[in-house]
Structure 1
Amino acid sequence: MYHIISHTHWDREWFAPADITKKMLPSLFQKLFELIDNNPEYKFVLDGQMLLVKDYLSNFQGEERKKAEDELKKYSKNIAFGPYYGQIDWRVSEESSIRNIILGRQEAKKYGNVMNVGWLLDNFGFSSQVAQINSKCEIEGCFLWRGLKMKFPKIGFTWSSSDGSKIHGIFLIDSYRNIMRLKDYPEVMEKRLELEINKLKTYSKTNYLPLLNGYDLDPVPEDPTDGELKTVFPDEFIQGYFKQEDPSLIEKYVGELIDGSVVSTFPGSLSTRQYLKIMNWHSEYMLSKVLEPLIAIADNSEDDKEIQKAWEYLIMNLVHDSIGGVGVDQIHEDMEERYYKIKEIFESTLNNVLDKVGQILPLGYTCLNLNPQEIPVLFENKETLYRFSAPSGSISKVNLKKYKVSYLEKPINSFHWENEHFKAFVENGKLRIKKENNDYLIRPVLVEDKGDEYSSAFDKELNLTFSGMRLKAQSDNYSKIALDFTSNEVNFTLYLTFSELPYINIEIESLGKGSDYGLLLSLIGDGDINAGVPFDSVKRPYEVKYEEPEEEMKKFLVAAREISFNNVFPMKDYVGLEKDDYFATFMAKGIYSYTTHSTKSLEKAVSLILLRSVSWLSLENVKGRTGDAGPVMYTPGAEVKRKMKIETAFCLSPKDDFLKYKNSFINPPLLFYKHNNNSDLENQAGVVHKFYSSVDENIEFVNIKPSIDKEGITLRFFNPTHKKKGIKLPQKAVKTDLLEQELEEFDGTIKPKEILTLKIPMLSFNICSDDQGSKVNIVYPKFTWDISEDLSKPDIDIINNMEREAKDLKEHIKDLEKKMKESQGINSYVLLFEKYKLMRKALELELSSLYNRSKIERVDPSKIEHIIVELNDVRIKRRGIEFLLATLR
């Protein structure tokens, strides 16, 4: 008896927007219910994500919706729901990755059969702490395809995170579609299955072989079972496999899984449509670091539904194709609307919460710093420079130092700055920083990019003109300068802010004009690369070389993959060079990748990928990648022709001090002002409320919010070090898992690399009753992104060329159909396969031309929808005939 997993992989937003893909779902579910009626033992996986169910139900209203919900419950024993809300990009998500599981499980529980296995078929790689996040959410196993480095074929593996958490895994060695649509060609069904089983059983001592019956956006599930085949849930499969498998056949993996040599992880997707990444970073920051902490402090639960809605929008946008920017423009326009809805929810809820927070704040200036470190803060506002120090883990009155700022617009040829941390020199558009034996050079670099939305293909350096430098502002211990650059592709200005702090703020204001380029900010110096990633930091080489796969692996190389080498890597919040006791670091808000790409004038540099401009969803023959990545469709929105502000900084500090400076930039204290007529009170300092009795300075604050059960609040910390650390709280705390299920009384310690969640009673504060009517506002920081509307316009010549090519392909298809009538046997299938290939390409071009024409003239939406359905059908049929031919041959 062999075990099959039937499923559909639902890319809800890719070459079609969700408003259209969701219309395919009623027929899928009705077919699924029929299969269950005919075979009560049949089991089916809903792609591991509840967005598929939410999209399905959105087709109905009122009584019809209730009927649809009741049907899902009726058939729930045969359907695996969850565990995720959406199939997110785990390289980008931090707190949102936890909410993805919490929300996914909450939705799945409505129907009764929650899957406790991570169904990770197509995600573009995984950060180092994904095993810990899943294991602390009662998910003890996973099925995945991308990211594993594999020299010889293996099916089973164990995967450990940095803290030692471990989960079991099944590698989908021959993809997640290896026995899709078996019944489409009954004449070869048995032979095809036999060949696939023989192909896999060499690598397992069990009958649990990864046989997966499903495909992308396949709306027609099938039941392929017979006397020798049985459909099972992934939970059953993984338990059976690990009970029976020979341990010597099980591979071991530790940390991040981002290798693309077997199946591509598309590292270029981390810098495609950079504006989306910036919106995502700010949205997660506003929810997890600002709004939820204030709600927890104010004991305000009336906005729960709005907060949950904001998280749902955020996770919807974090689906790997969506945040990866690897879709048609219309999809990413929908994403922008969701980000603005999150911003609206944040602003309206913040106003409500501030009224309650104001009741516990004294008059004047008060700061909230939930970081375990005392944080230095310096900011400019309305011709004044403000400087204060925020005590750790507290609400505190602050002594605000103010300095008058002089605004200038003075051209300068060079600039020098010196403080106790470093010496800095700026000349000819380059910034040089020196400290003892450390010497670093920072400069922007413009390079050609011959890639697509999936993959960057950086090449030669392009002409970039430094057009001048200006002194913008000055105050005591503070200067701001502007460096202007122009090119055919992009104009931009670097605003460098120098102060007494060990970091230099570097704001980039850009305006994209051309396409097919990458804008880098490069750090040149000595040291080992250390990058921040979600809940971790990792050390990496300058590049990873990909060897030619062993002969035994080649039969499983069925998809796009990276070849030769990779020099583009994930990051979150920072990347830098460690040397001796110092850390020279780029910090960045919303940049999720860096490169070590070199040119004639740029060697051994670590470069932030500030933005990347391309024109096509997928191209054939991209350097560094082999295989089909996706539809060949014209996407001018990916050229990033818009104004955009990117917030970065360069920090040079001792390693042990880096965390407080990183938090000063990435998670600064909130500064409140409560109207006060007595200016003497404004300058008084003192702690109003202390959240922690003591916390080791090397611990990182993650989040504080009302607990799910509303009976307390939860605190989340992360220990970035390799040593056990201490946390003391003024009240009793209970340790919970990430789902907030209570485990044990907290013993005051946090393990190395542990993500720790604690539940404590509601906080109590003294109400300030003598200042009623005083309005509270947040003076610092500002909660927004600075991104203009898309200024790109489709090129009519490209549209016309696509339409001509589609027309030519259709003529070619007619010729093929004539040949098909005269052919027999395998030749007829070969011609049918060729027909589907040409149809797919013609429909992709036709759909792409309609999408782009709709930006400049009216296009009938029903025509677009019709082509999407036809294209999806042809894609499935083409893949099916490909398997048929492989069987016959």
Structure 2
Amino acid sequence: MKVKVVVHNHWDREWFTSSEVTSKWLKEVFFRVKELVQKNPEFVYVLDGQTAAVEDLLVYHPDLEEDLRELVRSGRLLVGPYYIQIDWRIPGEASILKNFEIGEKDTNRFGRRMNAGWLLDSFGHISQEPQLHRIFGIEKVFLWRGISFENDGISQEFFWKGSDGTAVQGVFLVGGYRNLYNLKETRDIAEKRLKHEVEKLAKFSRSGEILLLDGYDIDLSPEDPKDYLNVEIVSPEEFPERFPEDAPTLSGELLSGRYACVFPGTLSTRAYLKLESDLVERLLKMNDLLSVLNGEELSDLFWRDYLKTLAHDNSCGVCADHVHEKMERTYRNVYFLVKSSVESRLRHLVERSGLEKGTYALSLSPFSYNHHFCDGERTFLLKTNGAGLFKTEVADEKKEVKELTWENEYYRAYFEGDGTLVLNNRKAGVLKLFKEDGDAYTTSVEETDFSISLEKMRTVLQTKHSMVVELERTIRSSQCLIETKERVIFDETPLVKWRIALKIKGKNYKLSMVYETGSGEIFAKMPFDVVKRKEKDSYLLPETPPEELKGILLAARETGEVREFPFQGFVSVWSEESSKTILARGLREYWMEEGKVHVTLSRSVEWIAKEVKNRVGDAGPMMYVPGAKCEGVFTVDLAFMELPVHPRSEEFFRWYLLFDNPPLLLDVEADGTEKEKTFFFSSLPWAGVKDRYHLWVYNPYLEEIEGLRPLQIGEKSIESLSEKQCFVSRLNILNFPEFPVVSVEKNPEGEVIEFLKETLSSLEDEITNLEGKDDPRSKHRLFSLLRTKKEIELSLQYLIDVEKTARELNELRMKRRTYDYVVELFESEERE
């Protein structure tokens, strides 16, 4: 059995501290790698598969660029293929594509790309990752979280087949990504560690090779394992030498926490950030489209700032408060910059379209429509022929209102006395509150007593074609006080649009909006796919794993069952030839229970990590984060829809895309003669702009459409408009999307601060008792306590030097993680 080692660094550029701190540490990592290469020309180092780390290094040390290029070109320092280590469940399609594109651009600049997918710590994987990697020329990926094998038939090598049938080679990091880490601290038992890991993992190899990893999170002192062991260092591209043809096949999305946590709670942690992120991505995507229609080259300047907020710990909401506050500043800044850019490019586009004076709908959906559409403030005829600019008129208001009911060709709806909407005899818009006892990583809810009072319900807009009802509700419980202002929008489309502004005070709650769909097949929109799922995942190991896996699974795992799943856009229940669908922009978590779909609006916690039910093992730092309570004011957009068509049909997507890309209304003063301008028409959703001449598109349907087989990702040609055709003296966007968050408060509580100080004092006593003891268990416990101490000190950052404490915490995390493996080795020897 051959032993191969990959030396790497999982660079969490932001987590318990910000990139302003970690970027300063990159210089010493770089010089250490350079030193190791000079000493051993065969040394290879993987810088976490993301070029953003290189970018961070050069921001502070541009003088290092030539040395860096030399290391990259020689294959000694491996960078890419991505720009940032995103969480694949949360970012939208445009961001996923742009992450590949910018990563490819950066690696071209530096002279070489690592030609393997490096996905060590992603919290689960979407079904289209195999196809996406193949599109960008990558045929092999390395994964850890999310994987499970039937009957625990674990294999280090496997084939991963995506939802469209595209397959890549996969390498499962069975023992995690740090099983040979920190040999310099354990040199006396280095041979023992190696032998033990080989004995544990040999049975999982089908290639005759075992992969071990020497590296960890933010490792500031890389080492050459050949200084301590007779092993071969390889790049991920070289492992294994021959991929076994009899390797098992895993299919579709990989979201299991059976062997390592995928942390489903992160789908709803700091939901306000996900709302901000989603809007900014939509605007960036729109800005790209307007740019190419105007014949301009694409710029990635805004995208780079934005994509850095999608690093998996950032977008999952599990960082320290000051990191997330920085994210908010980035989102607001990019929002206003892109808004200005969109306004300018729209003016140029109207000039190129030669439009006459009037009101126009800018539709970004590639489908045609001929319905009156209401945005909550105005109602207008949306008569389009694909994506483009189409003249319209705003409907006059009609003041007489007899009853709060609405009926069109798709549904009949009315309100009950408590504000509940009944849509085709099914309740929708129901608010449900739970007590939350989880942390930033994991949700753990139970029923709680709460009350909802309807403060106001009235019609605020009525035309022949639409009605808008305003609700105000108050939710009270021992955990929180939540006040809502809601607008429910009815028009001629099948969409019942629902905008809810939440003003929240309190903590440790979970608020969901419910649609009583009844039971049926569950379909969830995900990037480039509509996946079919079960209600829950019960294929998880107990807290104490089987004996044959005990020494293997040293990381945190989910136990019991998981009911929370990711979605992007909609969750639909298909039964009796009808789809009942709840749609949402920016929200990412749903669960199904007793024929009801819950979409999480907000989830409040106070700790990055603590002891939580249905999770075993060490998840993350014990840090107090009052910002995660989500106290503040923010707005969410949802909708409900019932159609007699399948969720993977063109008619369904026609209406979903109208919700996903609602038209903008433009007031134009111009001297042209045209009443409309179509940019493109298609049945395929467009996912982003590839270059000046092509859009990214995909086929979500059950049959081949426009040359794309089901679930295939492809491209569609697009042409820029001709030169200026008219003069525009005025252009106002009447309904530009508002930034969804008004404010989020971070209010540390005195009693929690006192608890942290008392905990520090008690930790000191136990630390004193352990100092000087040399056995592995005592050392492991000592490093655990010292790490917790630094985590608490960092929580109390207003009292101490943040950067110094962050570094001390990082060093203790490294030492403690090393002793996970040392203690397991020690215990295995005791059992023999």
TM-score of Structure 1 vs Structure 2, range by shorter chain: over 0.9
- Pick from 79, 87, 91 the counterpart of residue 89 of structure 1: 87
- Counterpart of 1:258 in structure 2 is 255
- Counterpart of 2:54 in structure 1 is 53
Distance 2:781 2:677 in 1: 74
Shift of residue 493 of structure 1?
A: 3.2
Is residue 366–residue 672 contact of structure 1 (8 Å, CA) maintained in 2?
yes
Letter in 1 for 2:531: V
Return closer, same or farther for 1:479/1:180 CA change in 2, 3 Å cut-off. same
Shift of residue 230 of structure 1?
A: 1.2
- Counterpart of 1:316 in structure 2 is 308
- Pick from 600, 604, 621 the counterpart of residue 613 of structure 1: 604
Q: What SS does the aligned partner of 2:601 have?
A: strand
- Counterpart of 2:132 in structure 1 is 133
Is residue 539–residue 561 contact of structure 2 (8 Å, CA) maintained in 1?
yes
- Counterpart of 2:659 in structure 1 is 665
Q: What SS does the aligned partner of 1:763 have?
A: coil
The one-character-per-residue Cα deviations of 1:847-869 (angstroms, maximum 9, x if unpaired) are 1112xxx3xxxx56xx1111111
- Counterpart of 2:411 in structure 1 is 422
- Pick from 630, 654, 673 the counterpart of residue 620 of structure 2: 630
Distance 1:887 1:107 in 2: 41
Is residue 512–residue 640 contact of structure 1 (8 Å, CA) maintained in 2?
yes
- Pick from 537, 548, 552 the counterpart of residue 544 of structure 1: 537
Q: What SS does the aligned partner of 2:599 have?
A: strand
Q: What SS does the aligned partner of 1:178 have?
A: coil
The one-character-per-residue Cα deviations of 1:168-211 (angstroms, maximum 9, x if unpaired) are 11000000001101221211101110111121112224343120
- Name which of structure 1's ranges 21-30 and 119-128 shifts more when overlaid on structure 2: 21-30
Distance 1:523 1:382 in 2: 21
Q: How does 1:788-803 map to 2 (within 5 A)?
A: 788-803=742-757
- Counterpart of 1:359 in structure 2 is 351
Letter in 2 for 1:112: G
- Counterpart of 1:739 in structure 2 is none
Shift of residue 13 of structure 1?
A: 0.9
- Counterpart of 1:743 in structure 2 is none
Letter in 2 for 1:149: S
Letter in 2 for 1:625: R
Is residue 806–residue 843 contact of structure 1 (8 Å, CA) maintained in 2?
no
- Counterpart of 1:270 in structure 2 is 267
Is residue 370–residue 701 contact of structure 1 (8 Å, CA) maintained in 2?
no
- Pick from 709, 718, 722 the counterpart of residue 698 of structure 2: 718
Distance 1:865 1:176 in 2: 26
Shift of residue 430 of structure 1?
A: 5.1
- Pick from 708, 713, 717 the counterpart of residue 750 of structure 1: 708
Letter in 2 for 1:291: N
- Counterpart of 1:746 in structure 2 is none
Shift of residue 773 of structure 1?
A: 4.4
Does 1:839 find its partner at 2:776? no
Distance 2:493 2:793 in 1: 56
Shift of residue 797 of structure 1?
A: 1.9
Shift of residue 140 of structure 1?
A: 0.9
Is residue 384–residue 405 contact of structure 1 (8 Å, CA) maintained in 2?
no
Return closer, same or farther for 1:676/1:32 CA change in 2, 3 Å cut-off. closer
Does 1:445 find its partner at 2:432? yes
Distance 1:158 1:717 in 2: 26
Shift of residue 73 of structure 1?
A: 1.7
The one-character-per-residue Cα deviations of 1:132-184 (angstroms, maximum 9, x if unpaired) are 11110111110010111222321011111122111111000000001101221
- Name which of structure 1's ranges 93-102 and 466-475 shifts more when overlaid on structure 2: 466-475
- Counterpart of 1:297 in structure 2 is 293
Distance 2:10 2:398 in 1: 57
Is residue 376–residue 664 contact of structure 1 (8 Å, CA) maintained in 2?
no
Distance 1:724 1:454 in 2: 40
Shift of residue 873 of structure 1?
A: 0.8
Q: What SS does the aligned partner of 2:467 have?
A: strand
Does 1:481 find its partner at 2:439? no
Letter in 1 for 2:655: Y
The one-character-per-residue Cα deviations of 1:8-38 (angstroms, maximum 9, x if unpaired) are 1111111111111112111111111111110
- Counterpart of 1:731 in structure 2 is none
Q: What SS does the aligned partner of 2:309 have?
A: helix
Letter in 1 for 2:238: E
Is residue 3–residue 211 contact of structure 2 (8 Å, CA) maintained in 1?
no
Does 1:327 find its partner at 2:319? yes
Distance 2:809 2:793 in 1: 10
Distance 2:342 2:601 in 1: 30
Shift of residue 547 of structure 1?
A: 4.3
Distance 2:399 2:613 in 1: 50
Q: What SS does the aligned partner of 2:784 have?
A: helix
Does 1:460 find its partner at 2:417? no
Shift of residue 565 of structure 1?
A: 0.7
Q: What SS does the aligned partner of 1:341 have?
A: helix
Shift of residue 550 of structure 1?
A: 4.8
Q: What SS does the aligned partner of 1:199 have?
A: helix
Is residue 374–residue 491 contact of structure 2 (8 Å, CA) maintained in 1?
no
Does 1:336 find its partner at 2:294? no
Q: What SS does the aligned partner of 1:789 have?
A: strand
Distance 1:168 1:500 in 2: 49
Provide TM-score, normalisation by structure 2.
0.92
Does 1:869 find its partner at 2:823? no
Letter in 2 for 1:254: S
Distance 2:686 2:617 in 1: 42
Percent of aligned pairs with the same residue? 30
Shift of residue 313 of structure 1?
A: 1.6
Is residue 724–residue 751 contact of structure 1 (8 Å, CA) maintained in 2?
yes
Q: What SS does the aligned partner of 2:568 have?
A: coil
Distance 2:400 2:625 in 1: 42
Does 1:72 find its partner at 2:68? yes
Shift of residue 396 of structure 1?
A: 4.7
- Counterpart of 2:830 in structure 1 is none
- Runs (5+) with no aligned partner, structure 1: 727-748
Distance 2:589 2:367 in 1: 27
Does 1:573 find its partner at 2:560? no
Q: What SS does the aligned partner of 1:703 have?
A: strand
Return closer, same or farther for 1:173/1:219 CA change in 2, 3 Å cut-off. same
Return closer, same or farther for 1:397/1:109 CA change in 2, 3 Å cut-off. closer
Is residue 120–residue 144 contact of structure 1 (8 Å, CA) maintained in 2?
yes
Return closer, same or farther for 1:557/1:378 CA change in 2, 3 Å cut-off. farther
Return closer, same or farther for 1:632/1:690 CA change in 2, 3 Å cut-off. closer
Shift of residue 888 of structure 1?
A: 3.3
Does 1:231 find its partner at 2:186? no
- Counterpart of 1:470 in structure 2 is 457
Return closer, same or farther for 1:208/1:841 CA change in 2, 3 Å cut-off. same
Shift of residue 6 of structure 1?
A: 0.2
Return closer, same or farther for 1:396/1:56 CA change in 2, 3 Å cut-off. closer
Is residue 306–residue 331 contact of structure 2 (8 Å, CA) maintained in 1?
yes
Q: What SS does the aligned partner of 2:138 have?
A: coil
Return closer, same or farther for 1:407/1:802 CA change in 2, 3 Å cut-off. farther
Q: How many residues align?
A: 805
Is residue 7–residue 44 contact of structure 1 (8 Å, CA) maintained in 2?
yes
Cα RMSD (Å): 2.3
- Counterpart of 1:740 in structure 2 is none
Q: What SS does the aligned partner of 1:90 have?
A: coil
Does 1:350 find its partner at 2:338? no
- Pick from 734, 738, 755 the counterpart of residue 779 of structure 1: 734
The one-character-per-residue Cα deviations of 1:412-440 (angstroms, maximum 9, x if unpaired) are 9x8332222122121143535454xx744
Q: What SS does the aligned partner of 2:248 have?
A: strand
Distance 1:594 1:325 in 2: 17
Distance 2:373 2:602 in 1: 26
Is residue 263–residue 442 contact of structure 2 (8 Å, CA) maintained in 1?
yes
- Runs (5+) with no aligned partner, structure 2: 828-832
- Counterpart of 2:526 in structure 1 is 533
- Counterpart of 2:560 in structure 1 is 564
The one-character-per-residue Cα deviations of 1:485-526 (angstroms, maximum 9, x if unpaired) are 221412223321222221211111111111011100111132
Distance 1:614 1:432 in 2: 30
Letter in 2 for 1:831: S
Return closer, same or farther for 1:592/1:875 CA change in 2, 3 Å cut-off. same
Is residue 424–residue 431 contact of structure 1 (8 Å, CA) maintained in 2?
no
Letter in 2 for 1:608: V
